[in-house]
Each structure stands twice: as structure tokens, then as C-alpha cells.
Structure 1
Amino acid sequence: MADQLDFAVILIYLLAVLAFGYSFYSKNKTAGSFTRGDGQFPAWALGMSVFATYVSSISFLALPGNAFAGDWSSFVFSLSIPLAAVIAVRFFVPFYRKINRESAYTFLEERFGRWARTYAAFCYLLTQLARMGAILYLLSLPVHSLTGWSVSAIIVITGLMVMVYASIGGIKAVVYTDAIQGFILISGALLCFVLLLSQIEDGFSGFLSMGLDSGKMSLGQFQFSFSDSSFWLILLYGFFINLQNFGADQSYIQRYIGAKTDEGARLSVWMGALLYIPVSLLFFMIGTALWIYYQQNSALLPTDLQADQILPFYIVNELPSGIKGLLIAAILSAGMSTVSTSVNSSATVLLEDFYIRSREVSDQNALRFLRLSSGIMALLSIVVGLMFMGVNSALDIWWALASIFSGGILGLILLGLFSGKTSNKAAKLAVAGGLIFIIYSSLNSLFPDLKVTFGLHPNFVIIISTLLILGVGLLLSKTNPKR
């Protein structure tokens, strides 16, 4: 259990975040400043913000747990990021900077009509609420075991902290706080791994030899399968997920248009993408090191401990005072950086796609609306986080909800970008077909007793739904070529 020194470290971190966020209050005098930082962000800050958005508290806990229980096959997801980044830098970044709109979904109305913009924006908001709630809940579990605070109190306190600095400081507070939090979580992970190596027999050489000999560093099977996870499935799944992040996620698009220059926007994508690869590898190395440590000290490990709880258990029981507090702060950083990004991007979508739309709104009213909607989204995320309490698997519920709520937005955006002949009606039919597939495929995750399945691995849902929407739209454009 954390002691007074650890609590002092946590308190200093939380107060510093609040003070830093408040320092940007006077710098947000316009709506453009609140949502895009007046387009004056340096590439390094945006790159760290993209990286910090990638690394949520889920990654901080799930990746070591995954490596502890299995191998490094999930690391293949990280290897797919540069593949998606190539397309993002080549197509998405120049496109969004050229149209120069606050919302990623404005061009969908111009391309297919109002329904497309409303549909994409609404699906995005639902996805972000589910994401923020899941992160707040999963974040609360290790902090509860480390501090003894109640799960509900941690969800409320963390959510309120994010609400304050995100609604007061706008995207400037979010981006620069993300950058600082990114450094904190990297430092915490490095420190944890170094301490683990010092407690393993023969240090790093012992870690390598035992990890390789036991197969704990394997990247999985290379034989492709539609029903089982393999190297190629994870690589393909990761490519589509990251393509959706770069091409259809409002929080990424805001960073593209917030950069000073086109080159800065491209550099921020590469920095965030390439930095995540070694850091995610570090998390897998921590998981393998934990497995080796407890193989050598099996009497210290309870038999009923779940894999995702292994890192918090190690921190509580094996690390010295003060270091525990730093690692708790790192876990809080991972969660708060992702939630704050979602709060700001959701407020931007509410302003641009629902409040303003095509009418005239004064800049002062727009700024007031942004602050209010940021607070509302943060409060709703707390409510959703509390609703996750008591579920059997928050991750399974989040993945199922994300599959449904994302609603094939990537397929619709790709259709709008790369098909100039697809009509409004064709796009509607394509999205309807994709949604039917998504909902049917996701029923098995939400209600396993129904046993409704195509025999496909769940990771195929986003792949097939995206290709289905794109393919149906292109096919219908051939039969009815209306530009």
C-alpha cells in the first residue's frame, strides 16, 4: 500500500497538472485558439501529444499483462503503425490541412449531404464517451489497489481533474500537458524495467536468455487464419485501426491543422507513431521481466491474480516508497492524457457539427459553448465510467461498443476521399450494409449466449466493415455514375 511519501508525490502531480492547465486560461481568447491553438503548435509538442493519446492507462496495464500471460504477439499491432502513418502523411494530413476546417466531418456534408456529417459526428461522440468511461474505470482499478481509495472516488476525482484543465486551458493545455505526461509515463516505465532487471538473476542477460528459451518473446504464429489470431491478422487489424485513428478521428485531425506548417504536421505524425513502437515494446519487456521475476520467486505471487493486475501487484509489494507514487502518477498520466484529448475533440465536434453548423455565431459565444461542452463531456465520461463498475470484462464491452459506435466512419471517409462518382444514395446504402454487418458481428461480444457468428475472429469486424462500405459504394457508383 502506498504511504505518505507516495501520496505526496501523487498530490504534487495532480496539483501541478491543475496549475499548468489554468496557466493557459488567459491564452484562449478565441474559439480557434481553444480548438486548434491558432495553428501555432511546434511539431515536437504535437508529436508527444499524439504519442500520449496512443498510450492510455489500458496500454500501461494491459500490455505488460498480455506479455506476462502469453508472448509478444500483440506487439505486432505497434508494427502496423508506420504502415498507416505512410498513408496518413501522404493523403490525410495534406487533405485536412487544405480544407482547413475545425471538424473532420465538415467535408462529408459537402460530399454526401447533411446526414453523412451528422452520422459521423454522432458516432464519434458515442465512441469517445465509451472510450473515456472505459479508461476512467480501468484506470481506477490499479490506483485502488495501490492507494486503497474507492473505485468510484478515483473515477470521479480523475474525471473532475481532466474536466477542469481541459475546459479551462483548451487544446493548448491538452497538448502541452500531454507532452509532459508522455515524458512522465516513459520515465516511469523505464524506471520500472530497470528495477525489475536489478531483481532478476543475471540481469539483462538472464532476462534475454530465459525470455527467448521460454518462447515469451514470440511474435505469434505466421500461418494466416480467419478464426484464430495470427501475426498477419494482428498486423492487418492494427493497420485498419490506426488508419481510422489517422484518417477519421477528430483528435488527430485537430493536431494536423494545429501545426505551424505542413512539414510540422507530417513530423508530428511520424514522431508520435515511431515513438510508440519502442515504448510499447518496453511495456512487453516489463511483462516478460515480471514473468521471469515471479518464476524465480514463485512464493511471492498469489495463484488467483489476473494478468492485468500483475504490474500493480508488483508496484505495491516490491517497490520502495516514493517510487510507488511516481509510477501511480505515470499510470494517471497515461489515462488523463487520453481522456483530456477526447474531451477537447468532442467539444469541437459539438460546436462545429451541431451548434454552429451553417449559422453565424459570435466568437465569444462559441468559446463559451466550448468550455461548457468540455465540462459536460467530462461529466458524462464520469457517469459512463461508473456504469462500467460491476461488468465482467470492461475491455470486452469497450471493444464491442467501439465496433458498433465507430459505425464504419473510416469506410465513409475513404469513400468520400477517393471516389468522386459515388452518389449520396450509394453512400447511404453502403453505410447501411456496413452497419448491419457490424451490429450482427458485435452481438456475439455483447451477448455470447446467442452464438451468432460467422466463424471470424472479432478483429475482422473493422477490417471487413470498412472494405464492405468502400466496396459497395464503389460498386454502386459504377452502376449509377453520378458525380
Structure 2
Amino acid sequence: MGILDWIILCGTLLFIVVYGVWKTKGSKNVNDYVKGGNEAKWWTIGLSVMATQASAITFLSTPGQAFHDGIGFVQFYFGLPLAMIIICIVFVPIYHRMKVYTAYEFLESRFDLKTRSLTAILFLMQRGLAAGITIFAPSIILSAVLGWDLGTLNVIIGTLVIIYTVSGGTKAVNVTQKQQMFIIMTGMFITFFFILGYFPSDITFDKALKIAGASDKLNILDFSFNTKSRYTFWSGITGGLFLALAYFGTDQSQVQRYLSGKSIRESQLGLVFNGIFKIPMQFFILMVGVMVFVFYQYNPSPLNFNPSATKTVLNSEYAEDYRLLQEGQVTLEAEKRIAQNDFSAALEIKEYAAVEEAKQLIIRINKKDSINRIAAKSLIRQADKSVEINDKDYVFIHFILNNLPKGLIGLLLAVILSAAMSSTASELNALGTITALDLYKRNEKLRLKILRVFQLVTFGRFKRENNNVFTEKDYVKASKAFTLIWGIIAILIACIANLFDNLIQLVNIIGSIFYGNVLGIFLLAFFFKFIKGNAVFFAAIVTQIIICIVYYNLIHIHPSGDEKLGYLWLNFIGSALVIVIAFIFELFDRVLKKPLA
């Protein structure tokens, strides 16, 4: 990185933090801090919702996902537009009509306090883990760039987010996310056109697509009913639908974005905006990864994109074996360039037989390439079992650092860090709000115990005239304090995190374990009026235990992706289970309470 890159990177991050603090300082009450004073317009809501979901993991992992596995990951989002319509019709009017601060506040009025608290705790568990991952992802990038310690980077990134999130609350998150989305999309579009400019002079965008297609990178739709496959059309519109319903309809990090709207209409328009533009945005990011793949058909690439993995094996007793693989890869890449040139020439003359022959040659070379990379991973694993061999998350950053001009490298790093900050800010904002309002405010015993802890920590200097009387300012302070605490917890989680095949999949897997159950609870609240709180509470506990067992036995034991059940199905299974079990519990409860004739 040059001086210009550092200026752009540091200037961008400093601007976001200072702007967020300056624009939103001085929240007077809970409504200002948690709902931004209900001043947000639909475009602010739409961009904020998109920025919350589009973390650094999106811009770090998704191109690598497309590079290795093609563009089929876009099917994951097929259920999102339908989910936006359902949320606009069902969720938004209820939340606004009841004037709730959190999604789980509604559950207390419908069921009881314990159901509200349980659902809030389920949210805190999964979102707390996810917040740590969203900090960890960009730390990997800067660690690869600067050679800095991962723990140090986690602390730096987490601290930057904490500063303006604690200071300004929801409004700070909303106003900074507009700037961040502008930076993010500008950087990605510039990168896309730079990649096209690096292709050989005779390779147009149309030809690049055909080259990617020859290597099966453009298989968008999979209509098979194979439940083992992670991404199919059917898992997208079922499991993906339920995941989107749970995430956008019940996850406070998203609900808080549209609760800040000026009206129901503004909130609905913001969600519709997200429903229309999210899939094209995700498709474009995947297309960037596909173009990176085409670029490496004509340019050398490492056997493993993780630089620390390569360094480890080259400093081990397996160094000579790895160098032999590297030499074989150089020969293979020369063959690959020749095969691509033959394929391009066949496309020019439009001769079907020649095109098919060249395509089959490319497929054979790709298989050899895959065998080489698997052998490289095996050597790395033998050299050091603790080193991460999965390199999907390093593909895009490797391209950025080794091929983009000075200045643009700084901009792309700013893009990825901006995305990390925007998503993490929403998560910490939601975690602090839920802890303060759903647990601290609604549980008097917990509140008094926390006050006693403060008094002990401050050696009795923390005093209140009446510990049982709490004002609006007290709850704003509590929200800020819990946001800070969750920020520290997220940093700690980031420090012990590790790669899991692909970071974007890890976050979605964590969500899928919890989201189905939570969504089912809300569906019971909306549509099954005869089912009461006790049945829902115990059904939710049983369902969560079953989902964890299903995950461990059918998915977790197959981390390579060759699992018995695609993780997206957990969202549907969780929702269905909690509804069925609650129905059974409610029937038993009514039968037992009914007097005998």
C-alpha cells in the first residue's frame, strides 16, 4: 500500500466516525436514541436496511464464493422480495400501531413477559455471535495486507464502530450508512470496470461470460429437489423466504431501521426499495467474482490464496513437495491460457464442434487445477493443522492487492471496512436496545442487581436517590452502556473466531439455527390467536433443542458442504416445529384444565 492508499483509507474511516458523532449527538430520550426521533425517510431506511445486511463479509466472501462455486449463490435471495411484501403488509403496520421500540415488545402484549424475554435472549445469542464475525472479517483483510496481529485489528475496528454507535444510537447508524453505501457501490463499480480493462484486447464482456460459462460459473438456477444442496431454487424460495422473514421481520438490527421511519408508508417504501434492489446488487457482486475468475484464466494465481498458509508450508518439511505442485501449476496455467485462446477463436468462427472441443479441454484442465489445489491444501494441513486452508475469503483481496492501482487499493479497503462498520453498528445498536428495554427495563430484579454491581465496581460512589424510579435519561444511559458492553463482547468473539469454509455462509448458518424458531413465535402471535404464552414458551425451548441436534448431526459434521441437509432448510423446519409443538402443548393444556364430566 502506498501513501495515497493510506490517505484514502484513513480519511474515509475518520470521516464516517466524526460525521456520525457530530450529526447525532445529544439524544434526549429513548425515542431519539432508539428510533432516531422517527425522522427517517424511505430512502434512508432502504439504504440503511441494505447496509445492515451487506457487511464486509458480503464484499469479502461473495466474490470468492463466485470464483470457486459460480453464481448459484444468488438463489439464496430469491425469497427476499416476497418476504418484503409480507413484512410490509403484516409486520410493519402492527409494529407502528403499537408504537413498540423493539420487535419483542409486541410478544409481551400478545403472550407474556417470559416469552418476550426468551425470544430476546435467542436474538442476543445469535446476533452477538454474528457481530463478532462481522468484525473478524475485515481484520483478516488488514492482517493479510499489513501483517498485523488479528487481535489488535479486531480491537481497532470494533472501537471505531463503538464510538459513534454509542454516541448517537439509531440516528448515527442511519446517517452513516447512507455515506457508507455510496462509498461501497462506487468502489465496487470502479473495480468491476478495471477488471474488464485487464482482459486481453480480444476478450469482450460477452466473451468473458461465455468463458465463465464454459467452466460452469454461470449456472444461476438449480431446480433439483436435492435437499443436500445448499443453494437451489426451491431452498431459496422456501428456506430463503423464511430466513428473510425472520431476519427482516424479527431481527432487531433490521426492525430498528424501519421503526425509525416517519410513517408506516415511509417504512414500507424503504423495505420495498430493498426488495427491488437487493438481488441485483448481490448478483453484481457475484459477477465481480466471476470476472475475477476470468481474469485468472489469463493470469497466474497462487495454489492457495491465503498468504499465511503458503508461507507456513514453504517454511516446513513439505516445502519441496509444495514447490513441485507450484511448478506443475505454472505449466497448467500455460495450458489454460492456450485452451481459453482456442475457445475464444472457436467462438469467433462460430463453429460448434470446435467450441465444444475447446470447452471439453477447459473442463479437463479445471479438474487438474482442482486436484492441484486439493493436494496443496493437504500439504498445508500436514505442515500445520492450525492454519486455515479454506481460501475463498482471500480471493478478492488477493486480486485487489496485486492488480489494482494505488489509490484504488485504499478505496477498496475503505469499502470493505465501511461495510463492516455499517453492519456491526446496526448489530451493536440492536443488541444494546434489546438488552436495555427487553431485559433490563422489564425485569426489576435484574435492574437492581445491575445497580448493585455498579455500586460495588465504583466502591459505593455510584448512588441514586431512588433506585426504583427510572427516567427516560436513565434508559438512554442504560442503552449506551449495554451497547458498549456488547461492543466489547463482539471484539472478544472476533478474537477467537476462525474461518468456516466461507464467512458469508457462517453468518447465514448461525442465523438459520435461531431464526426459524423466532419467526415461528411471531407467526403464532400474528395468526394463531387461540395459542397462549405457556404453550409458545415451552414449544420454543423444545424447538431450539431439536434444531441444534439436527444441525449438529446433519450439517455440522459435514463442514465441507457435503452435508445431509442444506442449512437453509433449518429456517422452515424451525418455524414449522415451533408452531406444531405449541399447538400440541396448547391442546394438552386445555384438556388437562377442562373439568371431567
TM-score band, normalised by shorter chain: over 0.9
Question: What is aligned with 1:310?
Answer: 395
Give the letter for the 2:58 counterpart.
Answer: S
Q: Which range moved further: 275-284 or 313-322?
A: 275-284
SS for the counterpart of 1:218 is coil
Q: CA deviation at 1:9?
A: 1.0
| Residue 431 of structure 2 corresponds to residue 346 of structure 1 | yes
- 1:179–1:363: structure 2 CA closer, same or farther, 3 Å change rule? same
Question: What is aligned with 2:74?
Answer: 75
| Conserved 8 A contact 2:46-2:271 | yes
Q: Which range moved further: 341-350 or 394-403?
A: 394-403
State how far apart, in whole Å, the 1-side matches of 2:56 and 2:6 are: 19
| Conserved 8 A contact 2:555-2:565 | no
Q: CA deviation at 1:149?
A: 2.8
- 1:238–1:406: structure 2 CA closer, same or farther, 3 Å change rule? closer
| Conserved 8 A contact 2:135-2:154 | yes
Deviation string 1:48-76 (CA, Å, 9 cap, x unpaired) is 00010111111112211111112211101
State how far apart, in whole Å, the 2-side matches of 1:361 and 1:294 are: 61
SS for the counterpart of 1:408 is helix
Q: CA deviation at 1:446?
A: 8.4
Deviation string 1:170-195 (CA, Å, 9 cap, x unpaired) is 11110111111111111111111110
Q: Which range moved further: 441-450 or 93-102?
A: 441-450
State how far apart, in whole Å, the 2-side matches of 1:435 and 1:367 are: 32
Question: What is aligned with 1:178?
Answer: 177
- 1:291–1:255: structure 2 CA closer, same or farther, 3 Å change rule? same
Q: Which range moved further: 80-89 or 303-312?
A: 303-312
State how far apart, in whole Å, the 1-side matches of 2:484 and 2:509 are: 26
Q: CA deviation at 1:212?
A: 3.2
Question: What is aligned with 1:410?
Answer: 519
Quote the sequence identity (%).
27
The equivalences for 1:11-160 within 5 A come to 11-160=10-159
| Conserved 8 A contact 1:422-1:481 | no
Question: What is aligned with 1:425?
Answer: 534
Q: CA deviation at 1:424?
A: 2.5
Structure 2, unmatched stretches of 5+, are 306-390, 445-468, 592-597
Question: What is aligned with 2:383?
Answer: none
Question: What is aligned with 1:388?
Answer: 497
Q: CA deviation at 1:399?
A: 5.1
Match of 1:294 among 253, 271, 296: 296
| Conserved 8 A contact 2:13-2:418 | no
Match of 1:364 among 431, 451, 473: 473
State how far apart, in whole Å, the 1-side matches of 2:498 and 2:537 are: 37
State how far apart, in whole Å, the 2-side matches of 1:45 and 1:322 are: 29
Question: What is aligned with 1:246?
Answer: 248
Question: What is aligned with 2:410?
Answer: 325
Q: CA deviation at 1:153?
A: 1.8
Q: CA deviation at 1:109?
A: 1.9
Give the letter for the 1:325 counterpart.
Answer: G
Give the letter for the 2:92 counterpart.
Answer: V
State how far apart, in whole Å, the 2-side matches of 1:390 and 1:84 are: 30
Q: CA deviation at 1:377?
A: 1.0
Q: CA deviation at 1:249?
A: 0.8
| Conserved 8 A contact 2:208-2:294 | yes
Q: CA deviation at 1:95?
A: 1.0
SS for the counterpart of 1:23 is helix
Question: What is aligned with 1:461?
Answer: 570
Q: Which range moved further: 359-368 or 441-450?
A: 441-450
Q: CA deviation at 1:473?
A: 2.5
| Conserved 8 A contact 1:64-1:285 | yes
Question: What is aligned with 2:422?
Answer: 337
| Conserved 8 A contact 1:51-1:273 | no
Question: What is aligned with 2:7?
Answer: 8
State how far apart, in whole Å, the 1-side matches of 2:139 and 2:490 are: 13
> TM-score scaled by structure 1?
0.93
SS for the counterpart of 1:222 is coil
State how far apart, in whole Å, the 2-side matches of 1:67 and 1:459 are: 18
Deviation string 1:89-128 (CA, Å, 9 cap, x unpaired) is 1101111111111121112122222211110111111112
Deviation string 1:178-227 (CA, Å, 9 cap, x unpaired) is 11111111111111111001112323222223233433111243121222
Q: CA deviation at 1:159?
A: 0.0
> TM-score scaled by structure 2?
0.76
State how far apart, in whole Å, the 1-side matches of 2:284 and 2:261 are: 29
State how far apart, in whole Å, the 1-side matches of 2:572 and 2:2 are: 47
Q: Which range moved further: 81-90 or 248-257?
A: 248-257
Higher Cα Rg: structure 1 or 2?
2
| Conserved 8 A contact 2:95-2:106 | no
Q: Which range moved further: 169-178 or 266-275?
A: 266-275
- 1:337–1:23: structure 2 CA closer, same or farther, 3 Å change rule? same
State how far apart, in whole Å, the 1-side matches of 2:577 and 2:113 are: 22
Deviation string 1:352-381 (CA, Å, 9 cap, x unpaired) is 112222775201111211221111111111
State how far apart, in whole Å, the 1-side matches of 2:563 and 2:395 are: 34
Deviation string 1:143-174 (CA, Å, 9 cap, x unpaired) is 22233332222211000000001001111110
Give the letter for the 1:329 counterpart.
Answer: A
| Residue 204 of structure 2 corresponds to residue 203 of structure 1 | yes
RMSD: 2.4
- 1:233–1:449: structure 2 CA closer, same or farther, 3 Å change rule? closer
- 1:396–1:291: structure 2 CA closer, same or farther, 3 Å change rule? closer
| Conserved 8 A contact 2:79-2:241 | yes
SS for the counterpart of 1:234 is helix
SS for the counterpart of 1:357 is coil
Give the letter for the 2:161 counterpart.
Answer: V
State how far apart, in whole Å, the 2-side matches of 1:26 and 1:43 are: 22
- 1:454–1:158: structure 2 CA closer, same or farther, 3 Å change rule? closer
- 1:458–1:148: structure 2 CA closer, same or farther, 3 Å change rule? same
| Conserved 8 A contact 1:73-1:231 | no
Q: CA deviation at 1:395?
A: 6.1
Deviation string 1:244-289 (CA, Å, 9 cap, x unpaired) is 0122111222223211111101011111232222211111111110
